[in-house]
Structure 1
Amino acid sequence: MARLVWLAFLSATLTLSHGNDRPNFVFFVADDLGIGDVGCFGNDTIRTPNIDSIAAKGAKLTQDLAAAPVCTPSRAAFLTGRYPIRYGMVGMDGPVTLVRLATPTGLPRSEVTFPQLAKDHGYRTALIGKWHLGMNCVWAGDHCQHPNKFGFDYYYGPLYGNGPGCHPDAESFFGPRIAQIIYSRLHLWEISTSIFVAILALKYFKYIQWKTVFLLSVFGWSLAAYPYVVLTKGVRRLNCVMMRDGDIIEMPFDISTMTPRMTLEAVKFLEESKTKNEPFLLEVSFSNVHTALFPYKEFRGKSRHGLYGDSVEEMDWSVGVVMATLERLGLTDNTFVYFTSDNGGHIESGDDGGSNGIYKGGKGQAASEGGIRMPTIVQWPRKIKPGTIVSEATSQMDIFPTVADIIGAPLPQDRVMDGRNILPLLGGAEVTSPHDFLFHYCDEYVHAVRYRPKEGNVTWKAHFVSYNWDPGTTGCYTTFICRCGGPEVTYNDPPLLYDVTNDPAEDRPISAVSDPRYAVVIDVIKKAVEEQNESLTDVKKQFGISNFIPLPWLQECCNFPFCDCQEDVDLSSLQIGG
């Protein structure tokens, strides 16, 4: 009996020890943050001491690339380690492939994410913040593309994210004016009554049965009422939704308190993980610094760059609180911390957009460095030396295989994985990029390609497509964002070629006429594009016209039929702004 007790005690001790020794993960993902907005990447007017501290204690990746220049496909690639085109996160002649709350589009359930991989290997997982990868497929409440279905045990945040329509003043802008025109002659009850009378007439003449009467009545009322609700209540009421797991907790959400509330949730998750002695994977996905800009009151007017700078500094404060919590709980040394942005700063937003430093272009431009080169930093004291600089080309898709290697999990064998394990690069065991090629897609089109030869110390980049910027700018100010094709782009024949190792700002194209290296490099790149295309399979495109048509039966709603609820949160435990 004593022996059995001893064996049980030994087993429990080993289990606890194993739990303590397994590395933890914290991922910070900013929204529309430019590489020129962060202190450790050259900004000296916006204060980001907590983000800069991660770089000083770990590694700064100076050529880390997003797989897409806009949020939804970029975030999908980050989680899956695969180009978005492989699973249909494309479909429009433009980069604005985004998910709206009441549309049946999003990350296919067939995809595997690295949080799912970690969960399957005993990790406690959480996503706190923006998801923007889908929600419902057939009916409101099926939650077929909810974060809980992709490996996150716990979810807290805005499903759709923070857009211009989520600003508190948005309800009094566009929608009501259009609603006033449409409904000025006919009231909602008149439209609904007309539809119902027409349906009863069909029943009277025995064209349909009572069951069909009921279904058509519900459908008809939805078609009449839903546009009215959308137009009068605005996008803010129906898209700006906060959830805790499967429950709506705020509709519409209060942007100004979102970052502090997310920070509080992150702290609670870390404390609970420590108490339970479980290894964890936490992603904090900020809405900062996507418009609408509406930081918490303690941060407004504190920066030198208006609301944009205030929002960056608010996010830096949040990062600092999470990092201080790791330190307080004794978890810093064995936690892999990663900070990045989903795409570059939105320069067409003017003063509400960020800086992409020396790099041309911005959000929406897949061929431009400003749209895809991210302010990425990594810290893991047990494996990464302080002050490490990684200047080789890396990709956000590399996180999936890197996490898999750290936790000892095999990669999926039934699909092409585009990411590569960069732990040897971060730790100094390797000195060159694990990627021979990186393809820069805008929607389904290859706009540019990176090529890192095995020999030498140069990374080439070929531009097959260039953007027709407004004179004196690197943005498409005639539109909200640059499109992937049509009159806003130029198809380069021959392609433009740059040495982005020695010319990262892409100011000096390699001569196609006089430089003998040009033909050799372009031939290699064109062959790689052909091989990449051959590796693709036909899949359903997730984006199209249907993506912009909200379906009433997919609309989430709390406190039906008002679709209005608010969360009461005590933020007093946080030293906000300190």
Structure 2
Amino acid sequence: MKAGPLLAGFMTWQSLKVVMACLAHSWTSSGLLLILHLLLMPPIAKAILVSYKPSIVIFLADDLGIGDVGCYGNDTIRTPSIDRLAKEGVKLTQHISAAPLCSPSRAAFLTGRYPIRSGMDYTDVFRVFQWLGGSGGLPTNETTFAKILQKQGYTTGLIEQPMKVERTAPLMLKEAMSFVERNKEGPFLLFVSFLHVHTSLVTTEKFIGKSKHGLYGDNVEEMDFMIGRILDVLDNNNLTNSTLVYFASDHGGHLEAKERNAQWGGWNGIYKGGKAMAGWEGGIRVPGLFRWMGVLPEQKVIDEPTSLMDVFPTLVNLAGGTVPQDRIIDGRDLMPLLQGLVQHSEHEFMFHYCGILLHAVRWHQKDSGNVWKAHYVTPIFQPKGSGGCYDIRFCPCSGERVEHHSPPLLFDLSRDPSEAVPLSPDTEPLFHMVLKRIEKAVEEHQRTLTPVPQQLSFYNVVWKPWLQPCCGTFPFCDCDKEKEKREHF
């Protein structure tokens, strides 16, 4: 039988009423003391009492722009299931990925550490894995939150749509729903890693032509449908109140992705830049939604800076595990912030890398509420002012197509979130103080970095066909799963 939020030690008004009802027939001095103790207990003390292990469902989109989702301002693409998570949970408006590309961002997400610490970022030429048949990868000495949760008794499952494999979305959905059914006694961790809405845009026939934004919009709406079906399975198995659900994207939308005149990439709302750009907000600001009915507040909006790396310590602590003490963990436990027990994020500085080069730094000045952003390097857009590098599809990290800034470009995101007008000593009295403080933070951060093997070096990323996973035996890799009936669509 599943334990409820009361057994978790979360003393909400609803759970307090349950305690009072239980004591109604035996109203003793000890009962009165219990009620007084619960009412007077400090919020931090309540958080420490958490012992209930929720099941966890993670939805991670690929290349989804923050402006592509209804609850973040889109009024033309239909995302009712994702919007439901915002209505029934907490929406983060400054949720930041640790990198603007898939491989380094996901490595940071799984480990709670900047990708430069694990060697999971490199140069302009090799910044992501091009295929599975490579020898590089997350080093074996790195620890993922899934590995820790397994040790805490969790059944873990990763469901991911492989690149360039058509029409596997129905199979993904079928397996995700089956996983929940098989493990409903919990606790379980289900990580659904979508190919949606990567620029291959593999969409099943049912959704083609259904949106107002071509194949890209169709793909977003298909993903939302899949999320809705999985949420329905949680509802039907009475798991809604005992499951933490998280939705995010690995980085911003790919602005330059086009096929002829059709837009194949996402929209990043008011934020400048996009995929591959580590400095500008459009490449790293992503949707971030948490839902845990009965534990987290509903319809809450948090404007504090948070990171995808925060998921690591958050889940580890909820599972009763211990965050590794033998390495630097850059993420921070989000539960106190999500529950409203604290007002500010623990993040003071965030460092935004493009490959292995530091392009920008964010300073969350908690006493004033300002969020400063200093850009040391920015890409040169083509056409000028377009917000992207449309002539070469991806903006580079270095070379002739970037501009170095001395002094750095400075913005106050709390007043200028779209980074439209750089500040100067004439327009900002704190200009020099802010840059000096950020520079000191950079020096302190860089002292924590140690050399590690580069997992995205040429040798590691070059295709090695004997390492390529396939359904059969190499080189006969045809997958008969493609022929299965798509009963869930």
TM-score by length of 2: 0.86
Say which of 216, 224, 231 aligns to 1:316. 224
Query: Corresponding residue for 1:302?
Result: 210
SS in 2 for 1:527: helix
User: Is 2:170 the counterpart of 1:260?
Assistant: yes
Query: Corresponding residue for 2:33?
Result: none
Listed one character per residue, the Cα deviations across residues 75-94 of structure 1 (whole Å, up to 9, x for unaligned) are 00000000000011122235
Query: Corresponding residue for 2:39?
Result: none
Query: Corresponding residue for 2:485?
Result: 570
Measure how far apart 1:544 and its partner are.
Answer: 2.2
Distance 1:439 1:36 in 2: 23
* Matched ranges for 1:6-405 at <5 A: 21-93=52-124, 96-129=127-160, 157-158=161-162, 162=163, 166=164, 253=165, 255-256=166-167, 258-274=168-184, 277-350=185-258, 351-405=263-317
Measure how far apart 1:312 and its partner are.
Answer: 0.2
Distance 2:467 2:7 in 1: 44
Distance 2:385 2:177 in 1: 45
Contact 1:69 / 1:95 at 8 angstroms: preserved in 2? Answer: no
Cα distance, 1:477–1:330 mapped onto 2, change above 3 Å: same
Distance 2:473 2:458 in 1: 30
Say which of 485, 491, 494 aligns to 2:404. 491
Contact 2:55 / 2:186 at 8 angstroms: preserved in 1? Answer: no
Amino acid at match of 2:388: G
Query: Corresponding residue for 1:453?
Result: 365
Contact 1:61 / 1:390 at 8 angstroms: preserved in 2? Answer: yes
Distance 1:556 1:284 in 2: 19
Measure how far apart 1:45 and its partner are.
Answer: 0.5
Amino acid at match of 2:480: Q
> Bigger relative contact order, structure 1 or 2, given CA contacts below 8 A and separation 6+?
1
Unaligned runs of 5+ in 2: 9-50
Measure how far apart 1:52 and its partner are.
Answer: 0.3
Distance 1:101 1:270 in 2: 27
Task: Work out the percentage of aligned pairs sharing the same amino acid.
Answer: 47
Contact 1:347 / 1:355 at 8 angstroms: preserved in 2? Answer: yes
Distance 1:486 1:259 in 2: 39
Query: Corresponding residue for 1:206?
Result: none
User: Is 2:449 the counterpart of 1:541?
Assistant: no
Contact 1:99 / 1:547 at 8 angstroms: preserved in 2? Answer: no
Amino acid at match of 1:309: G
Contact 2:54 / 2:244 at 8 angstroms: preserved in 1? Answer: yes
Distance 1:46 1:565 in 2: 33
Cα distance, 1:566–1:499 mapped onto 2, change above 3 Å: same
Distance 2:467 2:440 in 1: 44
TM-score by length of 1: 0.73
Distance 1:324 1:415 in 2: 39
Contact 2:173 / 2:226 at 8 angstroms: preserved in 1? Answer: yes
Say which of 414, 417, 420 aligns to 1:504. 417
Distance 1:283 1:472 in 2: 38
Query: Corresponding residue for 1:437?
Result: 349
Unaligned runs of 5+ in 1: 1-11, 130-156, 167-252
User: Is 2:388 the counterpart of 1:480?
Assistant: no
Amino acid at match of 2:389: C
Amino acid at match of 2:159: I
Distance 2:233 2:207 in 1: 21
SS in 1 for 2:480: coil
Listed one character per residue, the Cα deviations across residues 78-121 of structure 1 (whole Å, up to 9, x for unaligned) are 00000000011122235732252222111111110011111100
Amino acid at match of 1:77: A
Structure number with greater Rg is 1
SS in 2 for 1:487: coil
Contact 1:356 / 1:370 at 8 angstroms: preserved in 2? Answer: yes
SS in 1 for 2:329: coil
CA RMSD of aligned residues (A): 1.9
Distance 2:390 2:132 in 1: 28
Contact 1:54 / 1:379 at 8 angstroms: preserved in 2? Answer: yes
Contact 2:111 / 2:312 at 8 angstroms: preserved in 1? Answer: yes
Distance 1:106 1:556 in 2: 14
